[in-house]
Structure 1
Amino acid sequence: MTEQTEVEDKPRRSIWLTLLPVLLFGALALVFLKGLTDGDTFRKLPSVLIGKPAPLLDLKPVEGLVLDGKPVPTFKPSELTNGQVTVVNFWASWCVPCRQEHPQLITLGKMPGFKLVGINYKNDPADAAQFLRQLGSPFAAIASDVNGRAGIEWGVVGLPETYIVDGKGIIRYKFIGPISEKALQTGFLPKLREIMADTAKTNASQ
């Protein structure tokens, strides 16, 4: 009886030893996904572009993008050096987290003192237009990055990504992942207000 019990226990221990790494990996994955959903994991990753000029490569309009009967203005990166703070959001209709953060972008789009623009990343123009017609457009201007070149220049690693650019065209802040309501109020907006205040001081001294 004792010998049989020992024989039965050995396979059980072997199974648990095999499953343990899988269970640990699953637990870590849940923690990672929770942080991603809250917008607190990716936003802490550093960016080599912080403190450097934003890429000024030419971008094309989103073909046929008409909202409320009017063509949507095309975002021109050359406007980033006009003395106004600009928030640049990379997004796509196929990006599920982009849909999750869209209400926060709507909130941002209604705020004064800065310009919110969108760069539509590797997206079919018709799908992009349908996305904005359904959910509303928070953007003052939009540009298309069909081939992903702008994403490479800006250092995009995954959608959505949002940048704050000061009035001189310098990238001051980068948020990777969807901006949740919590992240908007406790992280993004305080940083945006700080950069707006710095830009106002710079403009006043000139």
Structure 2
Amino acid sequence: MKTKFLIPLFAFFALAILLGVGLTLNPKELPSALINKPAPHFSLDLLNGSGSTFSPSDLKGERWILNVWASWCPSCKYEHPIFNEIASKTSIPLVGLNYKDKPQDATRWLAQRGNPYTKIPSDINGDVGIEWGVYGAPETFVIDEQGNIIYRHAGPIDPQILESEIAPFFPQLQTLFASAKG
């Protein structure tokens, strides 16, 4: 008779422990199964409507940044000046994957805020985002010379994240921060 009452009690404590552990996790630190693996292949039309396409293999041999953004994304407004600064002060290839966005809205948004991107593939349906494990905009990836994803950040990039997490992958950014401090 006593064990009949202990089972729900143990179940309650087990559930409380699991929920307690879950509350300590940082949702911004979403794991990516793609780190140190080849970047998923895609070929998408560019936003500018030129009929040209972009594929990650176009930048094989170069280290580059992929920024997933959209005109409907409030956090993208916050991080956009940082990408404008990277573009104006370095030659790092910066690809802006326009995610689930209307081309006319994205074009207008860039006209108002500046265009830091060297290429802007348009992922209207979000299929490429699914392949890359994108949870939502913004997300930023660093891809190495061999075409492997070596870093991923979910959420907006701020100056601290740029300096502490992304700059170590790019000597140009490290030099930029060193000269700003000196």
Question: Please, what TM-score do these two structures have when normalized by structure 1?
Answer: 0.66
Pair 165,46 (structure 1): closer, same or farther in 2 beyond 3 Å: same
Quote the sequence identity (%): 43
Q: Which residue of 1 aligns with 2:155?
A: 177
Tell me which moved more, 175-184 or 90-99.
175-184
Inter-partner Cα distance in structure 2 for 1:193 and 1:178: 22
Matched, 1:140 2:121: no
Q: Which residue of 1 aligns with 2:33?
A: 48
Inter-partner Cα distance in structure 2 for 1:152 and 1:49: 12
Pair 172,193 (structure 1): closer, same or farther in 2 beyond 3 Å: farther
Matched, 1:115 2:100: no
Equivalences for residues 144-155 of structure 1 within 5 A: 144-155=122-133
> Which is higher, the Rg of structure 1 or of structure 2?
1
Gaps of 5+ in 1: 1-27, 36-40, 65-70, 197-206
In the alignment of these two chains, the number of paired residues is 151
Pair 97,45 (structure 1): closer, same or farther in 2 beyond 3 Å: same
Given candidates 164, 168, 177, the residue that maps to 2:142 is: 164
Q: State the Cα deviation string for residues 99-143 of structure 1 (Å, max 9, x = none).
A: 110011111222435311111001000000000000000101110
Q: Which residue of 1 aligns with 2:54?
A: 75
Please identify which structure carries the higher helix content.
Answer: 1
**Per-residue deviation, 1:74:** 4.7
Given candidates 45, 50, 53, the residue that maps to 1:60 is: 45
Partner AA of 1:76 in structure 2 = S
Inter-partner Cα distance in structure 1 for 2:53 and 2:117: 10
Which aligned runs of 4 or more in structure 1 are off by greater than 4 angstroms?
71-74
Gaps of 5+ in 2: 1-22, 175-182
Whether the aligned pair in 2 keeps the contact of 1:86 and 1:165 (CA below 8 Å) is yes
Question: Please, what TM-score do these two structures have when normalized by structure 2?
Answer: 0.74
Partner AA of 2:62 in structure 1 = Q
Partner AA of 1:61 in structure 2 = L
Q: CA RMSD in A?
A: 2.7
